[in-house]
Chain A
Amino acid sequence: MTESGETISQRVEEVYRTESRRILATLIRLLGDFDLAEEALQNAFAAAVVAWPRDGLPQNPRAWLVSAGRFKAVDMLRRRTRLDAAQNELARSLESRAADEAELPELEDDRLRLIFVCCHPALPPDAQIALTLREVCGLTTEEIARAFLVSPPTVAQRIVRAKNKVRDAKIPYEVPALAELHERLEIVLHVIYLIFNEGYSASSGESLTRSDLALEAIRLARLLLALLPQPDSEAIGLLALMLLQQSRQAARTSADGELVLLADQDRSLWNRDQIKEGVALVWKALAMQNVGTYTLQAAIAAIHAESTSSAATDWNEITGLYDLLKEVDPSPVVELNRAVAIAMRDGDEAGLGLIDRLLASGDLDDYALAHAGRAELLRRLGRNEEARRSYERALRLMGQEPERRFIGRRLRELESPDALRGS
């Protein structure tokens, strides 16, 4: 053997970093049990640490580990004192199948299967998120808890309940059939976007960005695109949208942690590489059939990304994209964003009229940004007293500290017009 023991143990670590999630996905398929697979994975690597320096690096480390994991699982099943019939049968069938290489091309499919199991519609959304981050991304329970501002036991409980449901209701380990793929993919994309949003704009608390989670979501979207049997325009659109939003990350908050609105951001801080990749993906997605909500939102973000200032932005095109979005994915929030774009295109009065009509419908009563948007337009129109009331309304509804401070700043400006003139 030419490689020293030390390089080999480095190699084991490297394989663990790059391959352990893939191997886990395959073991879950073979064993049909998340916890058994996790334990088998750890045991397989423990065996590698001993065997590889002694016997040399196997030709196909991944295959070696899958096979070792399977035999470890058989041992574990045997050792369990109360072997029930089902486990006995599983142990026997695992043992009878040799480590056939033929299974290995399925490794990548296994990761895709795992994503669809974790995002199964029979699981509640918070469990889908926790299970995906735990099993697909390999985050620890503690990391997930910290990111979502909940206690580790809460996350652990969500994961355990979800795993139990997978087992008890017999959720199969499969990529959905073509007829169902679209609907099921929608859920996967939604889970990824929820993870991104949780990282991009924490729903409550001090910190406005928990970028690790946003980056994890981007990684996940890339993985999904690489694994899908055929390209999906919305999966591409979602990746584009996240990249374009993430590109503004450095400009979204000032040095002292204050929120900076899009119009006031220093655009030289925007990440050009992410914009370039995002814009290219938008074009790719737009050229495909079935343009959906993520692609349209990404197209809007792309226009912002390529404009040198708010004034130089093509608000007409943005309004047009919101019109399309309203068709594809109608919601009061889309209407609100469209009203803001119209305010930029046709003037504040026009936008205000639309927002007032939206608020009158009652759907956005509890949506802080609707009141903040209304207040902003009133302020620009010099209707300070009404602006103050809307800002106060928004403030009562807001959870995030930086956003609350932003509104607080605006309110103080309205109370002392001198300060406003001075600035």
Chain B
Amino acid sequence: MKYLCLVYTEEAKLEALSDKEFEQLDRDSLAYDSEMREVGHFLVAHALQSVDAATTLRVRKNKLSATDGPFAETKEQLCGFVLIKAKDLNEAIRVAARIPSARVGSVEVRPVRELAENEPWDKRG
């Protein structure tokens, strides 16, 4: 099974971190990526830029509308994601619980709905 771990934090909290703390969080995240890669859980992960840089699109009746920012004002914003491979939800929770940003925000663990066509990284193994 694949699980997408969506990492949410309050951007204000991230901004409140000192440069040193922020760099440490980045280093921890990269280190954990490699650890997950070594044991075969890791598929892909990215940190995201601030929601200030986001654009929301909608296509209605073939007409595109683009607006500034995320579609909903919420306290916590999506700030990164990790796609993992795990045998079941308990394993996914064990892996996701150690994502370093979970210490600052929250991680939503979502099972991936498999569509007919496989993603390219499936073929690699």
Contact = CB atoms under 8 A, between A and B. Distances in A.
Interface of A: 120, 122, 168-172, 174, 176, 180
Interface in B68-125: 87-91, 93-94, 111
A113 to B, nearest CB: 12
Nearest to B97: A180
A190 to B, nearest CB: 18
B48 interface: no
A176 B90 CA distance: 8
Contacts of B1: 170
23 contacts: A120-B89, A122-B89, A122-B93, A168-B111, A169-B89, A169-B111, A170-B1, A170-B87, A170-B88, A170-B89, A170-B111, A171-B88, A171-B89, A171-B90, A172-B87, A172-B88, A172-B89, A172-B90, A172-B91, A174-B90, A176-B90, A180-B90, A180-B94
Given A169-B111, A170-B1, A174-B90, 11 more contacts: A120-B89, A168-B111, A169-B89, A170-B87, A170-B89, A172-B87, A172-B88, A172-B89, A172-B91, A176-B90, A180-B90
Tell me which of B87, B90, B94 has the highest count of chain A C-beta atoms within 10 A of its own C-beta: B90
B57 to A, nearest CB: 28
A176 B93 CA distance: 12
Contacts of A122: 89, 93
Q: Which 4 A-B pairs have the closest CB atoms?
A: A172-B88, A170-B88, A169-B111, A169-B89
Contacts of A171: 88-90
Nearest to B86: A170
A176 B87 CA distance: 14
A168 B109 CA distance: 12
Contacts of A170: 1, 87-89, 111
A170 B88 CA distance: 5
A168 B110 CA distance: 10
Contacts of A172: 87-91
Contacts of B94: 180
Contacts of B87: 170, 172
A170 B94 CA distance: 14
Contacts of B111: 168-170
Contacts of A180: 90, 94
Interface string B1-31: 1000000000000000000000000000000
B85 to A, nearest CB: 12
A249 to B, nearest CB: 38
Contacts of A169: 89, 111
Contacts of A168: 111
A120 B93 CA distance: 12
A176 B94 CA distance: 11
B83 to A, nearest CB: 15
A171 B93 CA distance: 10
Nearest to A166: B89
A169 B96 CA distance: 14
A174 B89 CA distance: 11
Interface string B35-75: 00000000000000000000000000000000000000000
Contacts of A176: 90
A169 B92 CA distance: 10
A99 to B, nearest CB: 26
A224 to B, nearest CB: 19
Contacts of B90: 171-172, 174, 176, 180
A120 B90 CA distance: 9
Nearest to A167: B111
A122 B87 CA distance: 16
A260 to B, nearest CB: 46
A417 B88 CA distance: 67
A351 B42 CA distance: 58
A172 B86 CA distance: 11
Contacts of A120: 89
B81 to A, nearest CB: 17
Contacts of B93: 122
A169 B86 CA distance: 11
B94 to A, nearest CB: 8
Nearest to A168: B111
A173 to B, nearest CB: 9
B18 to A, nearest CB: 31
Nearest to B3: A169
Contacts of B88: 170-172
Nearest to B90: A172
A122 B91 CA distance: 13
Tell me which of A122, A168, A169, A180 has the highest count of chain B C-beta atoms within 10 A of its own C-beta: A169
A33 to B, nearest CB: 15
B56 to A, nearest CB: 27
